[in-house]
A and B are shown apart, each in its own frame.
Chain A
């Protein structure tokens, strides 16, 4: 046994298997919880031995510290009970049934509602719920929800107009401040005041329209009650979506599941980020990565071309190479601190004193923003691009170079027409790896401009369209924020898992495409 070392070989084999298990287990875990978030479970009606009832989704069973088997129920109705979850001893449970009448409503505040409908009032039509008019009742709610989406569109348009007016108003204020500082033209100031008055008037008109529309939504009322009979009045504004979970067919559940995934990807977050979607975070991540790529690609490629093609290979270049490799190993938080000190307070502060004097002391570029975050990440990922580019430049065979030079091309022409095009896939691999690293990085962003909820996107319809100074949302930070900073972290957990899943999928897809491109490249060079 000692000689052939079969024990040791198996030890290495087991460790290899263990590490494969660890990776797949972790990814499997995130996938399981992440995909489970959107699945509508049946809602149980639990009868306790003391003859009271509880409605809720059964989440898990666990043995608690007293060695009792307990069941965790998601009871929702936070406005009734103050909490979303309840633990009940298994021994206290009399029976569990799945009542088909149970109604589940996703609301814009207070989380989910589980209970029974009472009555519904819509456009001076009022019906009281009973088992016979069930279909009519829900059809009416459905049609009013359709109305809601058309009204919501109107409200969106109005909101946009109000946003425009606000923007113009703030521009006017700025102009006025500049004029009053120079203190020359009384006439102009009165003109500005007139303009302002006009804008304020149109603001009032839009505001009135907005209130009218909201009034329509508020006039549609749904009265519901929980299992204990406590009633609650919901207006159309409150209701996001409703369903009868125990009556849903498999097909209905699947379509609900898909529509929830779509909401997750395309909608804004609700309820302090614990519900709804993550679209602003996806958008912020993509935009940041794009700006970073614009910065990192020329920097990395030019540096690599110089190091590999033009610099005299000696001790200095070797030292620079070691430093570049080392830069990849420097902790990301150190880059963040550098970004804060150099970009934000250094460059940003100077930009403010030079160009945005009117807004001081509130900073414009002198605070965290998407530009500074992207540049910080560009510094962080530049070694990745340099190393990958150098590798692919090295791989261009000497024969091709010499052939080009022998045909009379200059060094620059050879570089531009022969070497760079052949090594383009390698450069692309480097860029993809850099993007994947940047997508997952959070620590430096936390101090250079990421926020939990950005009031406006960094890219919108107002001049200059791309607002580089704005703060932004980011998927990775979303995970940290919702998981660790939200007051209701238990209820937020499914959301965190889904966001983590999304982030992992993005990163894995990016990485595997980089690996694929690299492998193709290797094959091509071998051939």
Chain B
């Protein structure tokens, strides 16, 4: 805080952080000297014959709407910036309570998780609802739904302590895996044509499991092999170091990639279940009609089932985003918790939820930090509430539409 006094005794108090005028009052003129008490609690003035003391109690002096949501020029910085730094070792510390890095981190984590989850969940939902025997479906669906019940603390622990050190070492093979997987699926129909005559699956969809799953494992091992050889041939056996030397891309061990995968685990079953419900609730006569007109199964799925269920799939994605935004334990354990604003997939971040979990036990009750944390949980609440409401309304409309068809 800065206090300024002019000769006629007008006192003005400003906050250095928010540049807001906190207080203005008038004292008797004719003072000789003034002093500001430490911790900004009182003003002392020396008259000819006595010392006057003015106590003031200014609540949350450094916080305004601007300091929380826009750039602030903090003491000792070159330019205005968004910074979250709530505590430090020294007493003369200026708390930096900008929520923007945390909101950024929250959205970043949710973004990568959704990117990972959407293709797997929705495609799997199409498969289970359209191309699978009902009896097999009755087995597969609960298995994927078990995923939703996995405690997030377990996912976070695995991501932070098991997956993160592993991926650190096999980054390139992991990057190869999706490419090889797509190549595999391109050749899959041809492979199937060959194999078809030797095996006989009574239930439709069994082939994906019996033949697809082992091939995926083989592709994974293959990508490990190819990735490792690529790494040793082209990148001097250390892809991460090469990345840093060539592009200045810093690789943190706990980063958005890990979060994408781990939180993807939490989001996949949600998106899967809701979109599967939407897809399999498409009225039967639409499908039969399409098939009767000579469309193939895939044409029916793409042109009839998918469009009519798309609002349901959209709401599934929304609910998935809501879950990813609010997830606490996974990001707390595997995101590194550094409040930086960098969209790189190889950097860590800190989310609103993890920030609350880390800081609220230490925050003095009723203080600025405590209230800022309550504000951030309010933001989280509003965000998820709005997203879920939209999703819910869309779902209810879809139900009505199906009932009318």
**Which residues of A are interface residues toward B (Cβ below 8 A)?**
1, 3-24, 26-27, 29-30, 65, 67, 318, 322, 325-326, 329-334, 336-338, 340-341, 345, 436-437, 439-443, 446-447, 476-477, 479-480, 483-484, 489, 493, 496, 500, 503-504, 507-508, 510-512, 515
Contact = CB atoms under 8 A, between A and B. Distances in A.
Which of B146, B297, B393 has its CB near the most chain A CB atoms (within 10 A)?
Answer: B146
Contacts of B128: 16
Contacts of B353: 331, 333, 443
Interface in B194-230: 205, 207-209, 212-213, 216-217
A1 B388 CA distance: 39
Interface stretch (B32-40, B54-62, B79-87, B115-123): B115-123
B346 interface: no
Contacts of B333: 480, 483-484
Contact of A12 (B124, B156, B296): B124
Given A331-B384, A484-B333, A12 B151 contact: no
Interface stretch (B18-26, B41-49, B357-365): B357-365
A447 B357 CA distance: 7
B329 interface: yes
A325 B144 CA distance: 22
B328 interface: yes
A31 to B, nearest CB: 12
B263 interface: no
A29 B147 CA distance: 14
20 contacts: A10-B185, A10-B208, A13-B205, A14-B185, A18-B124, A19-B268, A20-B143, A21-B216, A65-B238, A325-B392, A329-B384, A337-B356, A436-B149, A440-B152, A483-B161, A504-B154, A507-B150, A510-B149, A511-B149, A515-B142
Given A15-B119, A333-B357, A476 B153 contact: yes
Per DSSP, chain A at the interface is: helix
B208 A322 contact: no
B381 interface: yes
A6 B396 CA distance: 33
Q: Which of A4, A5, A510 has the most CB of B within 10 A?
A: A5
Interface of B: 119-121, 123-124, 126-128, 130-132, 140, 142-147, 149-158, 160-162, 181, 184-186, 188-189, 192, 205, 207-209, 212-213, 216-217, 237-238, 265, 268, 272, 296-299, 301-302, 319, 322-323, 325-329, 332-333, 353, 356-357, 360-361, 365, 373-374, 377, 380-381, 384-385, 387-389, 392-393, 396
Contacts of B237: 67
Contact of A29 (B162, B208, B272, B380): B162
Nearest to B139: A20
Nearest to A328: B388
Contacts of A17: 208-209, 212-213, 216
A476 to B, nearest CB: 4
Contacts of B361: 446-447
A440 B360 contact: no
B319 to A, nearest CB: 6
A333 B161 CA distance: 22
Contacts of B296: 3-5
Contact of B208 (A13, A23, A24, A341): A13
A214 B123 CA distance: 66
A489 B209 CA distance: 38
A483 B333 CA distance: 9
A6 B189 contact: yes
A493 B157 CA distance: 10
A4 B193 CA distance: 14
B374 A341 contact: yes
The 4 closest A-B pairs by CB, nearest first: A331-B326, A440-B151, A5-B298, A13-B208
A21 to B, nearest CB: 6
Given A5-B299, A9-B297, A512-B142, A14 B184 contact: yes
A26 B140 CA distance: 16
A341 B184 CA distance: 54
